[in-house]
Amino acid sequence: MVQSILLFCTGIVLFLFGMVRLSATAQRRFTNYRLREYFKLSVKNPIYGVITGLVSTILFQSSSATSVLTVGLVSAGLISFYHSLGIILGAGIGTTLTVQLVVWKVTDISPVFLLLGGIVWISGKNKWKYIGETIFYFGLIFFGLSLVSMATEPLKNNPAFMHYFQEVKNPAFGVFIGLAITAIIQSSAIPISILAIFAQYNLVTIDSSLPIIFGANLGTAVTALLAGLTANINGKRTAVSHFLFRLFGVLIALAILPFFILSLKNITANVAQQIALGHFFFNLLLVIIFIPLLKPFSRLVEKIMPGKGEVLSLWPEYLDERRLAVAETAFECARREMARQIAIVQNMFSKSVDLISNFKDTKRNEVDYIEFVVDTLRREIGNYLCRISESSLTPESSRKLFLLSQLTDDIERIGDHALSLALLSWRKHRRKINFTEMGKSDLKELITLVAENLQDAASLIDNKDEETIKSIFAREEQIDLLEKELKERHLKRFYKRICHAEAGPVFIEILIHLERISDHCENIAEYIQDLKE
């Protein structure tokens, strides 16, 4: 019995580790490469949103990961609250694949995935290395479940165990068990997969399993609710909606429980397959019920949770291809898009500097998401300007084209430095580094000057003003001198052992990135100065 318990627990640990690593690997590739194209589908209509949620959950092997990512994207303003609802519904369907693979006994060939993935991961390069890593963690998930299966097999000879699980109990108790287990381990795939494994040894019936499946699906909302605690109003709405979808679904499913059980038994006599189908049909039921009601449902949630959340468009709003025929008109379209780009960068900068003294993982993720928007706009503006260059341009128009290209590059680089500030804040938080009160005061002084330069640079894109340009130049000289002075002050504090040694590199790097942001503001002022009206 002790050996079986240890084997069972080891299998669970390997499953969780494989799932977490596979999810992290998929999210890393997802956010860096195909975020824009991927979520472009979700905003077309709710059905595409469902497909987006389904595919992302299959990639991440976790509906919780999809829901947390969605809450973060909504909170950052990359997608609207309404468009997030379809993704949340689709995420539930995506989780059903893992259980179905257990029923198909993919666990029996999991060592093949481990061996193949490990070889490709170790020997491969670039894309192949990533593919090998993905296959390895996928195999680890099902190898963990195979250990659970091995530990479970002896239980079929235990009459007390079989009596306990095969006896039909109060469905509400089953819902509570599924909810509690999923909330603790943050994965509905584990309890439902274990039920499927139990079923393969005739240890459970569909009558006792189905309420646990309902509870496990409700438990997936707990992770999203926790993520929503630190999100903005739209992120909170998405998290609460996820919970309400699941809660109403459980209540409806319990109301038709006898019919639900009878339907599954008519489809197949295999209890493990009944469990997999019960999981699938529950989530399909949610989609069928709520997809036609998303608009009134979203309006109801907005009334219950009032407030206004900002939504950043992933795509250009002013780059009109119909204006490309006339260079000056096209230049104006590009200028308006750059004004939007630098406004987003200002928001990003504000969030980044706030993280230095008030770090939160969700806020840092928002900076990451916003930086993607900035990069996307820089690429789109660059492509638009290249298309202007395809037509015949006067020497002055060619010069303007060059200056505008440099301008959008500098705006994007400000975003890069803001992202670096967020990373330094994370390092400071992780290592529990504290700045002295003098250091905090010094940073505040420099941040204020840089923020003023960034504000003036943003205003120049809308309106060229010689006095503002002079102010930026003068303030940049002041910032350069102050940065050197702050470094000297820090060294004095270090020699006097007033500040912690580990704080030094982080503090200095923050100063450097702030000064470089101001440098790019000065570059913007120079480009604007060189542009003729």
CB 40 within 8 A of CB 78: no
pLDDT value for 426: 92
- For the ranges 102-106, 123-127, 413-417, the lowest mean pLDDT is seen at 123-127
CA pair distance 285, 214, nearest whole angstrom? 12
CA pair distance 63, 66, nearest whole angstrom? 5
Arithmetic mean of pLDDT over the chain:
85
- Let me know how long the chain is: 533
Is pLDDT of 367 > 80? Answer: yes
Report the 10 Å Cβ neighbour count for 518. Answer: 28
pLDDT value for 325: 81
Q: Which residues contact 114 (CB under 8 A, 6 or more apart)?
A: 136, 139, 140, 143
Q: Which residues contact 161 (CB under 8 A, 6 or more apart)?
A: 155, 203
Span 321-530 CATH architecture: Up-down Bundle (1.20)
pLDDT value for 423: 93
Question: Once rounded to an integer, what is the mean pLDDT over residues 243-256?
Answer: 93
Look up the pTM and report it: 0.73
Q: Could you state, in order of their start, the residue ranges of all structural domains in the chain? A: 36-104+156-304, 321-530
pLDDT, one tens digit per residue, over 483-521 is 999 988 888 887 777 777 778 888 999 999 999 999 999
pLDDT value for 33: 45
Is pLDDT of 427 > 50? Answer: yes
- For 367-382, give one letter per residue: b (16+ CB within 10 A) or e: bbbbbbbbebbbebbb
Is pLDDT of 37 > 60? Answer: no
Is pLDDT of 32 > 50? Answer: no
CA pair distance 144, 369, nearest whole angstrom? 33
CA pair distance 271, 192, nearest whole angstrom? 12
Q: By C-alpha distance, which of 397, 388, 512 is closest to 446?
A: 512
CA pair distance 406, 81, nearest whole angstrom? 35
pLDDT value for 48: 83
Question: Once rounded to an integer, what is the mean pLDDT over residues 60-72?
Answer: 77
Q: Which residues contact 330 (CB under 8 A, 6 or more apart)?
A: 323, 324, 384, 388
The two tokens of residue 504 are: 């030094």
Tell me if residue 434 falls in helix, strand or coil.
Answer: coil
What pLDDT band is residue 263 in, cutting at 50, 70 and 90? Answer: very high
Cα four-point dihedral sign 259, 64, 143, 166: negative
Cα four-point dihedral sign 258, 260, 266, 272: negative
Question: Once rounded to an integer, what is the mean pLDDT over residues 15-29?
Answer: 76
Which among 134-138, 212-216, 365-369 has the top mean pLDDT?
212-216
CA pair distance 91, 353, nearest whole angstrom? 34
